[in-house]
Every structure is written in C-alpha cells, then in structure tokens.
Structure 1
C-alpha cells in the first residue's frame, strides 16, 4: 500500500470502485459473506475482502464478474453503469500506477522519435529527388 501524506492511497479507479460496489451491494442484499463468495469463485478466502478494500490492488476480472453474475443470476451488465463515466479512467489508472505511467511515457517518446525520424527521412528524400530533377533539367539546356 502506498502512503500519501500519512493517509492511504486509493488503488482503484472510479470504474473499478463502481464495479466493486455493485458486487458488494449484491452480495449483502443476498446475505452472502465475503468468504462464501471467495470460495464460490474458487479464490483465496480473503480475495473478496481485498477486492472490496479500495486500498488494495485486488480487483475482479471479467471471469470473476461472469461467475458472480451466474451465482446471483443477474446479467453481466448489472456490474456496469448505464452510460460511460465522465472521468478519464485511463489517466486515473496511470496516476495510481506511476511505474506503468513511466513505461507508457517512455514508449510514447520512442514512438514520437521514430515518427520524427521517418518524417525527416521523407523530407531528405524529397530534397534529393528535387535536386536530382533540377540537375537533370539543367543538363538538358
């Protein structure tokens, strides 16, 4: 867990928290404990507790959600908002995970450098072609 000014840092994005809360509401409405749901998902007995903890990295994946939907007999879409969230969850995810953000930025820098080199190479070839054309034209005269 990461500490921020003496407080714990939430390690889930808004959409991850939304999904987690939908599972938790469903679990509580059906009077199912965390341990029971963990066992139904064939996971460690503490998984659901960790998934419900906003300061834990543990989260449900699509396979888990499908099994939870089957277990509670609800549609898969039950776990998602009716429309998209306004928050940029990718940016939020990268802020929560600085190493991934650094890797992404490094990758983008390489991509931009490669694109710039390609553009420069194309410009160089155009100039060479124009110079060769000009030279050929001047020889004809």
Structure 2
C-alpha cells in the first residue's frame, strides 16, 4: 500500500495542505473525530477524511473554514500562516490540474490574439488618418 501511494501525485497545494493540517491539529487536540466534524459541516461522513488525504482532491473552502472556526471557537485566521507562503501556489495549482492549465493557456492565447488584432486595427486607423491628412 505504501509503495502504491508513493507513485500517486499529491492533489493539494502547499497552502491547502497548511490549512488542512491546521484543522487536523485542532481537531485532534480537541478529540473530535473526522466523522463528527464532517457532520458538523453538513457534509458526507467521509469528507474530512478525504480532505486530510493529500492524494484526494477534496479540500475545505472558505465557508467550511468559517464553520470550523465557529465550531472550535478559534479565530478564522488560525488556519492561515502569519505571512504568505513562498511558493507560487497558483502555479502549483496549475501543475496539479493540467486541464485547468490548458484552459488558462488557451484563454491567454485568445486574449493575446485579441490584443494583437486591436493594436493592428489601431495602427491601421492611424495610418489611414495620416494618409488622408497628406492628401489635403
């Protein structure tokens, strides 16, 4: 089983893992099981377990974190580092999700193409305007 997990890719970014680990530490220090926390969040019984598995793509959203903070009576900020993480988490997220990277790259290509066409049109208009001024 261990060898099989080593071959699998982690499905979470550094900041996601940080937050998930803070929830786990708090949950364990307060003797709250995964099932109980899942039910408190109105999620499936296995959701917290899936979230705590780095090879599973499940994770907490901001609403979940707010409810967890309320449940444990801790500040919302408890789940975040004091300063930003050094790693580019957006780039890391795109590495983990190649389909999203492909969509992003396609979107950027389209954006750049539109910008290029707009610039060409502006240049064409400037040349046309200059040409009509020369004729006068």
Q: Does 1:133 align with 2:133?
A: yes
Aligned to 2:60: 60
Provide the secondary structure at the position in 2 that maps to 1:57. Answer: coil
Q: Does 1:42 align with 2:47?
A: no
Over 4 Å off, 4+ runs: none
Q: How many residues align?
A: 131
Aligned to 2:22: 22
RMSD of aligned alpha carbons: 0.8
CA shift at 1:42, angstroms?
1.1
Aligned to 2:78: 78
Structure 1: gaps of 5 or more residues: 1-5, 137-141
| 1:86-119 deviations in Å (ceiling 9; x for gaps) | 1100000000000000000000000000000000
Aligned to 1:3: none
User: TM-score by structure 1 length?
Assistant: 0.91
| 1:12-34 deviations in Å (ceiling 9; x for gaps) | 00000000000000001001111
Structure 2: gaps of 5 or more residues: 1-5
Provide the secondary structure at the position in 1 that maps to 2:112. Answer: helix
In structure 2, C-alpha distance between the alignment counterparts of 1:97 and 1:91, rounded to whole Å:
10
- 1:2-21 aligned at under 5 Å gives the runs 7-21=7-21
